[in-house]
Structure 1
Amino acid sequence: MPRFAANLSMLYPELDFLDRFDAAAKDGFAGVEYLFPYAFPATEIAARLKANGLKQVLFNAPPGNWDGGERGLACLPGREGEFRDGIAKALDYAAALDCPRVHVMAGLLPASLARETGKATYVENLRWAAGEAAKAGRDLLIEPINTRDIPGFFLNRQDEAHAIVEAIGASNLKVQFDLYHCQIVEGDVAMKIRKYLPTGRVGHIQIAGVPERHEPDIGELNHPYLFKVIDEVSAQCGWDGWVGGEYRPARGAVPNGTSDGLAWLRAAKALSA
């Protein structure tokens, strides 16, 4: 079975952020991911990781004004300086947390901006950022996100993302393959796993139930089957990435709400035993 990481931005919402590391470790997660670490000193997060024997597997670069509705800067002309400052900050945190990969959100394409103009900015920013990440020994990830959750998001499809990664040609620039977003936009998830994992361009996988974005065993996707597909393809191509549980617990922010909903994780581990 894949290695599973808990997304601490969504899981254990009843707990303060720094207390979620301990909860994830107690529930058997070996790794963690989250949206952003920047509200906390890297030294404090590193201490939580070490105390709980957890691996930091992913976080996002600064997205611009998140509270103001921004969802990344990479496709926005005129914001290149802020984008570069954000990459530098992310790589500093990645070094302190021994995190091998950083996700760069594409951003919202303004209605007044031609898509090709946004794409040219996006590609140039990614080319520069991948070079900086390579110097630091990190992978840079891009993620197609559905436009129901984030209307206007620039990057929505797996084929788009892989074409951009292939065109830039940086070995450390990869795709963050979120099965939840893929199912909503495209479907045919199992065949896309079979198509894209062997390319070497998938750096990370994320999961959630569709359509409510609750536990993976709630909704229309058959995750036990998809885990078997990931295992089968990984055995053939050598993919050894992480699978992040990026979902909202169905019971919400109640004591043990996340822990009580981890039957999917226990079942996955039982199959691999």
Structure 2
Amino acid sequence: MPRFAANLSLMYTEHAFLDRFEAAAADGFEAVEFLFPYAFDPAEVAARLRRHGLRQVLFNAPPGDWDAGERGLAAQPGREEEFRRSLTGQALPWARALGCPRLHVMAGRMPEGVPRAALEDTYRANLRWAARQAAADGVEILIEPLNPRDMPGYPLRTQEEAHRIVAEVGEPNLKVQMDLYHCQIVEGDLAMKLRRWLPTGRVGHIQFAGVPDRHEPDSGELNYPYLFALIDELGYEGVVSAEYRPQAGTSQGLGWLRAWKASHG
């Protein structure tokens, strides 16, 4: 049975952030992820994880100035030193404090006037450096294709592109974060995408949400019980994270999780 995690940046927003850990544990989650923890004290977040028996499975490296519209630094020519400082000065110390085995490194939106080749050269070099730095802590670096509706101007769109970059960089702890919500919007044919990419061993994390509105997985156009069963069938041993915006309260919308657990005892 898939091991489910909850994304505490999108879910349980009816609670203050530090109280979301208790709420997720009470609903039966054994693991959590979130976007950016840097406004909090890592010792306090680690204490919440221990208190409620949760594992931290993923968070994002600093994205630059998020409020100004920046969405990552890894593919931004001229900002290499800023990217490196953000990783060694913030992301990796946080990963050590939380015992977190994965960091999502965002590329950033495509800068105007920068050739695609230069952008990809910067991206590969930064990812290679980041993966080597993270390897000392046993941490995986992840890259994620994002759909243009939610993330306009983002250079990484498809599974094919992400797996090509991972193969070109060639570091064993650089992997793909496969979000089924984004993948469905951009590419569709999710069952075949899972059958193609999971056996490669290069998928380090899976996320999901209902399509098209990013609500609960039992809303919208996708048959998630089928997809969860297929993920199991393909031997994926990682975590499958719920990363959606609940329609009317997080706990009230977890019928999909209760039904899955009841049928897979």
Q: Does the alignment reach a TM-score above 0.5?
A: yes
- Identity of aligned pairs, percent? 65
Name the counterpart of 1:219. Answer: 220
Name the counterpart of 1:110. Answer: 111
Query: Following superposition, which runs of at least 4 residues in structure 1 exceed 3 angstroms of deviation?
Result: none
Structure-2 separation of matches of 1:211 and 1:181:
10
Name the counterpart of 1:269. Answer: 261
Aligned residues, how many?
A: 264
Secondary structure class of the residue paired with 1:128: helix
Name the counterpart of 1:243. Answer: 240
How big is each residue's C-alpha offset from its partner over 1:198-251, in whole Å with a ceiling of 9 and x where there is no partner? 1110000000000000001100011000001001001xxxx3100110000012
Structure-2 separation of matches of 1:111 and 1:233:
41
Name the counterpart of 1:76. Answer: 76
Name the counterpart of 1:174. Answer: 175
Secondary structure class of the residue paired with 1:57: strand
Name the counterpart of 2:163. Answer: 162
Is 1:9 matched up with 2:9?
Answer: yes
Is 1:50 matched up with 2:50?
Answer: yes
Structure-2 separation of matches of 1:75 and 1:98:
27
Name the counterpart of 1:254. Answer: none
Secondary structure class of the residue paired with 1:148: coil
Structure-2 separation of matches of 1:167 and 1:136:
23
Point out where structure 1 has 5 or more consecutive residues left out of the alignment: 252-256
How big is each residue's C-alpha offset from its partner over 1:84-134, in whole Å with a ceiling of 9 and x where there is no partner? 011111111000100000000111002321111111100110010000011
Structure-2 separation of matches of 1:211 and 1:64:
28
* Offset of residue 29 of structure 1: 0.4
Q: Report the TM-score, using the length of structure 1 for normalisation.
A: 0.96
Secondary structure class of the residue paired with 2:231: helix
Name the counterpart of 2:34. Answer: 34
* Offset of residue 271 of structure 1: 2.4
Q: Read off the aligned partner of 2:109 and give its amino acid letter.
A: L
Secondary structure class of the residue paired with 1:210: coil
Name the counterpart of 1:260. Answer: 252
Q: Report the TM-score, using the length of structure 2 for normalisation.
A: 0.98
Q: Read off the aligned partner of 1:218 and give its amino acid letter.
A: S
Name the counterpart of 2:145. Answer: 144
- Cα RMSD over matched residues? 0.7
Q: Read off the aligned partner of 1:74 and give its amino acid letter.
A: A
Point out where structure 2 has 5 or more consecutive residues left out of the alignment: none
Secondary structure class of the residue paired with 2:207: strand
Structure-2 separation of matches of 1:14 and 1:240:
31
Structure-2 separation of matches of 1:9 and 1:224:
24
How big is each residue's C-alpha offset from its partner over 1:6-61, in whole Å with a ceiling of 9 and x where there is no partner? 00000011111000000000000000000011111110000000000000000000
Q: Read off the aligned partner of 1:69 and give its amino acid letter.
A: G
* Offset of residue 178 of structure 1: 0.1
How big is each residue's C-alpha offset from its partner over 1:167-213, in whole Å with a ceiling of 9 and x where there is no partner? 11111000000000000000011111111111110000000000000
* Offset of residue 69 of structure 1: 0.5
Structure-2 separation of matches of 1:82 and 1:61:
12
Q: Read off the aligned partner of 2:128 and give its amino acid letter.
A: R
Secondary structure class of the residue paired with 1:64: coil
Q: Read off the aligned partner of 1:84 and give its amino acid letter.
A: R
